[in-house]
Structure 1
Amino acid sequence: MSEKENLPEKALPQNEEKNLDKKVENEKTEEVQPAEHIVEETSEDTSEKVSEKMTEEKSEEKQTDDTAAALVDKAKATGDRKETTDSPSPEAAVESVDEEEDNKPSQEPKTPKDAQSEVDDAVAEDSEDESAGERHGIEKKDYHAMSKEALVDELEKLLKKEKVQAIKEHVEEIRAEFNAKFDEELEEKKEEFLHDGGNIIDFHYSTPLKKHFNSLYFDYKEKRNKYYQQLKQDLTQNLEKRQEIIEELKGLIDVEENINTTYKHFKELQERWKTAGAIPRDKYNNVWNTYHHHVENFYDFLHLNREFRDLDFKHNLEQKLKIISRAEELTQETDINRAFRELQMLHKMWKEDLGPVEKEFREDIWQKFSDATKKIHDKRQEYFEQLEKQYEKNLEKKEEIIGKIREIAETNYTSHKTWQQNIKEVEALREQFFHAGKVPRNVNDQTWKKFKETVRTFNRNKNAFYKNQKKEQYHNLEKKLELVQIAEDNKDSEDFKATTPLMKKIQTDWKKIGHVPRKDSDKIWKRFKAACNHYFDRLHANRSEENKEETEAFEHKKELLDKLKSIELTGDRKEDLPTIKKFIEEWKNLGRVPHNKRYIEGKFNKALDHAFDKLDMDKKQTEMLKYENKVQALEDSDDTRRINNEHYFLTKKIEETKAEIIQLENNLQFFAHVDDNHPMVQEVHKNIDDHKEQLKIWKEKLEKVKGLY
């Protein structure tokens, strides 16, 4: 079996690779000897060409040395790119054209990986898509806290300004947050629709914002699919190129040609390898390990031409030591994600840009690089553990917020004002929830579900309350429509005395009735107001006419009062009494005076008292003559309230007088043993007689008032 057939076709672990190197070296010792003989027997011209070639190679290496710092600077630049909110997981699966969209976070725990495996996977992922590094340069905002409008604006900006392959994580997180918020709104609208008696089959809800978002997301998928279709094709072609290079590299060992020609061919293969382009990430590490293995085999094949080979070894060692130095510096970097991204680039440079070193240094430098890698990896793991602790704190905050919303949702409120206060409170708690930060991925769905269910419970109770409110509002509408009808039926009534109390009453009743549906409120109020205003405008116009007569009556009463005050009575009761009665009768005939002029009635009564005092008349007769004037004033006032008050006053006086009489009669029992001629007994009897006389007057006055009804 030939040596070529013994070489591995797949990637080997690091230790197995080194063991195979030793085995190949031992097995080839004798086979390589002729190659040395060929080199020694070359002609002088050939030696000159080799010398020229080596000079040329040294020049190239010098140029490479000059750009070594640039390579490390490239890695630094990658690490310096703006930090995103969350670095993409290095375990992320390969995105294919036909992948199924899934916005839910994985509920399965990740399998722990060692440092080297994680870096290898990350390098493979970035190597598949050469723009992968650009993803780290796009700021990932707190999409969870954004409104639907802000999310749409952010999606539109990303599609306009960024490459489609660099925004997948941003777009999917925006989509998940937008859909969650829209679904919440959709549920509210659905419940309102069903509460209003709608059929679920007829329910459909969308908004211009939702349509705009769907259009943007469709554009994104179209662009992304086109990109990945082309990328998949390019990756496959590039893989075939690299596999062809590996096959040519394997064949260099068995080819029988001038060693200088072979070395030149090898350098050409290296250049072709560097420019071969990206390949599928799941093939990357396997293909690279195989390539690297055969590169080392080729250098071992050249071990007889030490100067020629050692130039490359020296150059590669110097560059790898620089990479190790930079990796060790990164172990002190405080920005963990930045350090890890730069470490990825260092590993990629180690693999892509540099070849092997002498065997005696291979294990040592690789171990140093691995140690630095492990330190960065461990710090990164610690960083993510701290993040998880913060996520746990955020979870506690969100659980507390959910508890507060649940407490509000489970309370039965009975007034519109209270519901409005709690609607604002729940809205504030919702905002706090959205700004509370991320929670552990394995409880994210569960927490979001609890939040939605709690808010939904509150909305259901709110909708149920307002549904009952609507029923009550329609009942109130019926009541107010009845009052509107009464107002419109009586707005042209001429019976002001009977209609005015009715119109005032329906206005009072209107205020006592609660809210009606908003769509009917203004309409029925305008009808009711118009009818009431029409009536009271007519009433005021009528009263204005009446006031003219009342003013005239007041002027006449003033003149009559002056006459009564200035009259000279003869002192003869029979002659003076008709004169006084004539004054009273004339006063009554003059009619009502304006409300603000009614004080003149009191002045007239005082004048009558003064006149009656000059007459020797029975107290009851005098009292009733004066009261006739008051009764007339009550009748003229047309004020039911005043008449009722007078009725109540007289009834009360009658009851009080009866009680006084009973009390006085009871007191006489204490004087049963005393002679009736005793002054004290006589005083009690006199009081009883006076109260009985007064009782007759009160009763007679009450009869007069009753006659007014």
Structure 2
Amino acid sequence: MMDSEEKRYETMAQVIERVKELAQSEETPEKEEVELLKSLFYKLHFQEREQKLKTYLDEGGDPEKYVIQADDSEEAFKSAMAVIREKRQKVFAEQEAEKQANLVKKQSIIEKIKTMVTSPEEANKSYQDFKDLQAQWKEIGQVPAENATEMWRSYQLYVEQFYDLLKLNSEAREYDFKKNLEAKTRLCELAEKLADEEDIISAFHQLQDLHQEYREVGPVAKDLREQVWTRFKAASTVINKRHQQHFEDIRAKEEENLTKKTALCEQAEELSKRECQNSAEWEEVTKLVLALQAEWKTIGFAPQKMNVKIFERFRVACDRFFQRKTQYFKEMKERFAANAEKKQALVDKAKELMDSTDWKQTAEKMMQLQKEWKEIGMVPKKVGDQLWQEFLGACNHFFEARNAANSGTRNAEKENLQKKKDIVVELERLAEEAGDDLQQRMRELIDKFNEVGHVPFKEKDKIYDDYHAALDKIHKVLNANSQRRRMDNFKQNIKAAAKRGEQAVDNERTRLQRRLEQMKGDLKTYENNLGFLSISSKKGNSLLDEMNRRVEKLKEEIELVKKQIKEID
């Protein structure tokens, strides 16, 4: 029944329309319908509020400026519900007063029948009075629930006792028994048919009406009383069990919903604490929170005692996240404003310097401004693009003017570069020719290279590397020639030593072996020192080159001594 009722109301307008209708109606609204309408309204109200916020953010709205608008529909709903609540309280009070009056009336009827039962000899004479009392009993309405069962039992007890006392007028008694049996049999059949009723809530309420009617019907023949009551009670048990199972299923579903909603609360609480470092991360987590809210809407009610509490827990977690997000973007806007102010100051300084002709000093200042620009944080793209164009324009204006003024210097540097390239080519040709005057010609070209002036800054390192590469080739040729001459001299010396005797040769070998071990130790020391040199600085790079040249020379000496030892052997 609840599911079908929910489907009737898909919008808040429909819920409010029904609430107003109940408020204006003369009928007393049912408690179940009022509670359902109340739950549905706030469920739809929450969904609408979240959708408005999502739409606002999707359209690029500023979270800081978002304000929850006053909702006229909520005021209308509360106003109508107040009227309904007042009506129900008034009707409830009237019903309770009427039930108390009915209680007194029925107690009076029971006392009268009780008096008839104590006078067996008068039973037949007072039969008509007894029937009048039964008719009055049926006309009287409900009594308080706490008195209903006990009163009905007392009434049935004394009615049955009165019938048992009847000796005369048996035809009337048998006629009553027959009519009562027909009425109770009909009630049994109606109760049994309720088992086929799809709406179990409606079936349960119909059964209560049948029970009330069953109580009002008089007794049947004594030998059929237990049989009829057992049949009616069996039909009632079927409906009562279905009714009980229905609410157990609802409670189980509500507990399942509570578990699901608790899990969503835990996820929302975790997201509300997540540290986001930039706008992209905040938007990513926002999507996760909105997804949780969308999933929440698909889950039904939790148990009544927890339904409001679990919703408040979820709402607080979501609100906490959006409050932190709002604060983040507020602080980000403040940072952006401060950064924009700093960049504007740099733009102003660059514009002041852009027409200066003090090329060197102003260029250093301009480069310092560019360095400071890079260190300043982000600003909004539109503002940032505009500031950058102004800043870049001022810088370009200065450097273009400087370049125009220094064009002559650059031409000279290009000529120097070509001269040095020509010298490098000559050095490479010397290495290939390897003539006898190789060293003398190399020194002349070195002096010539050093006399050439500056080259373009971007080409400086490359021409330097090419120059030293050519020199290294010549040094290798010179070293090879030197080692060859030294080896030839060594062979002559060994032959002379051999003529002096075996001892002289051994002494020379021992001397060479000691020298070899010493050079190996020096080589190891040089190689260890290479690891401590930093090639990031100009000084470190020069020292590294010198150390590498010493290492290579030492390796060549080691190889030469090894050959000398081998020659002796």
Q: TM-score if structure 1 supplies the norm length?
A: 0.48
- 1:253, 1:298 within 8 Å by CA — same for their partners in 2? yes
Q: Does 1:476 align with 2:476?
A: no
CA distance in 2, matches of 1:181, 1:325: 43
Q: Shift of residue 306 of structure 1?
A: 0.9
3-state SS of 2:174 partner: helix
Letter in 1 for 2:426: L
Counterpart position of 2:300: 437
Q: Shift of residue 430 of structure 1?
A: 1.8
- 2:23, 2:84 within 8 Å by CA — same for their partners in 1? yes
Q: Does 1:238 align with 2:102?
A: yes
Counterpart position of 2:172: 308
Counterpart position of 2:475: none
CA distance in 2, matches of 1:664, 1:149: 97
Counterpart position of 1:280: 144
CA distance in 1, matches of 2:204, 2:92: 26
Q: Does 1:401 align with 2:240?
A: no
Correspondent of 1:661 among 420, 423, 428: 423
- 2:159, 2:219 within 8 Å by CA — same for their partners in 1? yes
Per-residue CA deviation, residues 96-142 of structure 1 (Å, 9 max, x unaligned), is xxxxxxxxxxxxxxxxxxxxxxxxxxxxxxxxxxxxxxxxxxx6427
Counterpart position of 1:84: 2
CA distance in 2, matches of 1:649, 1:238: 122
CA distance in 1, matches of 2:278, 2:435: 73
Alignment of 1:589-608 (within 5 A): none
Counterpart position of 1:163: 27
Q: Shift of residue 453 of structure 1?
A: 3.7
Q: Shift of residue 316 of structure 1?
A: 0.8
Counterpart position of 1:423: 286
- 2:184, 2:214 within 8 Å by CA — same for their partners in 1? yes
Counterpart position of 1:606: none
Counterpart position of 1:141: 6
3-state SS of 1:141 partner: helix
Higher relative contact order (CA 8 A, sep 6+): 1
Correspondent of 1:414 among 277, 281, 300: 277
- 2:271, 2:321 within 8 Å by CA — same for their partners in 1? no
Q: Shift of residue 467 of structure 1?
A: 1.9
- 1:664, 1:688 within 8 Å by CA — same for their partners in 2? no
CA distance in 1, matches of 2:162, 2:411: 130
Q: Does 1:375 align with 2:235?
A: no
- 1:405, 1:455 within 8 Å by CA — same for their partners in 2? no
Alignment of 1:576-615 (within 5 A): none
Q: Shift of residue 665 of structure 1?
A: 3.1
CA distance in 2, matches of 1:347, 1:645: 114
Q: Shift of residue 360 of structure 1?
A: 0.7
3-state SS of 1:661 partner: helix
Distance 1:413 1:455, change over 3 A: farther
CA distance in 1, matches of 2:454, 2:230: 128
Normalized per residue, the structure richer in helix is 2
Counterpart position of 2:186: 322
Two-structure CA RMSD over aligned residues (Å): 5.5
Correspondent of 1:358 among 197, 221, 224: 221
Letter in 1 for 2:427: E
Per-residue CA deviation, residues 549-598 of structure 1 (Å, 9 max, x unaligned), is xxxxxxxxxxxxxxxxxxxxxxxxxxxxxxxxxxxxxxxxxxxxxxxxxx
Letter in 1 for 2:181: L
Alignment of 1:48-59 (within 5 A): none
Which piece of structure 1 moves more, 334-343 or 230-239? 334-343
CA distance in 2, matches of 1:154, 1:515: 53
Correspondent of 1:271 among 115, 128, 135: 135
CA distance in 1, matches of 2:214, 2:80: 41
Per-residue CA deviation, residues 424-466 of structure 1 (Å, 9 max, x unaligned), is 432232232232123456xx62x86466445534543443343
Alignment of 1:300-699 (within 5 A): 300-352=164-216, 354-439=217-302, 445=306, 449=309, 452-453=312-313, 456-481=316-341, 514=378, 654=416, 658=420, 661-662=423-424, 664-665=426-427, 667-669=429-431, 671-674=433-436
Distance 1:692 1:223, change over 3 A: same
Distance 1:171 1:697, change over 3 A: closer
CA distance in 1, matches of 2:291, 2:26: 34
CA distance in 1, matches of 2:310, 2:407: 66
CA distance in 2, matches of 1:177, 1:649: 85
- 1:316, 1:356 within 8 Å by CA — same for their partners in 2? yes
- 2:414, 2:455 within 8 Å by CA — same for their partners in 1? no
Distance 1:335 1:639, change over 3 A: same
Distance 1:148 1:342, change over 3 A: closer
Correspondent of 2:79 among 204, 207, 215: 215
Q: Shift of residue 646 of structure 1?
A: 8.9
For these two proteins, the number of residue pairs brought into alignment is: 426
Counterpart position of 2:158: 294
CA distance in 2, matches of 1:648, 1:270: 129
CA distance in 1, matches of 2:407, 2:269: 58
CA distance in 2, matches of 1:648, 1:302: 141
Distance 1:216 1:262, change over 3 A: same
Distance 1:164 1:515, change over 3 A: farther
CA distance in 1, matches of 2:244, 2:146: 24
- 1:419, 1:462 within 8 Å by CA — same for their partners in 2? no
Q: Shift of residue 696 of structure 1?
A: 6.6
Q: Shift of residue 312 of structure 1?
A: 0.7
CA distance in 1, matches of 2:434, 2:349: 70
Q: TM-score if structure 2 supplies the norm length?
A: 0.58
Per-residue CA deviation, residues 194-241 of structure 1 (Å, 9 max, x unaligned), is x99xxxxxxx99765554444333323322222222222222222222
- 1:394, 1:439 within 8 Å by CA — same for their partners in 2? yes
Alignment of 1:50-129 (within 5 A): 83-85=1-3
Gaps of 5+ in 1: 1-82, 86-138, 190-194, 197-203, 540-634, 703-709
Distance 1:324 1:226, change over 3 A: closer
Per-residue CA deviation, residues 380-407 of structure 1 (Å, 9 max, x unaligned), is 4444444444445434543453454355
- 1:402, 1:454 within 8 Å by CA — same for their partners in 2? yes
Letter in 2 for 1:474: E
Gaps of 5+ in 2: 54-62, 358-362, 460-569
Q: Shift of residue 287 of structure 1?
A: 1.9
Distance 1:342 1:170, change over 3 A: closer
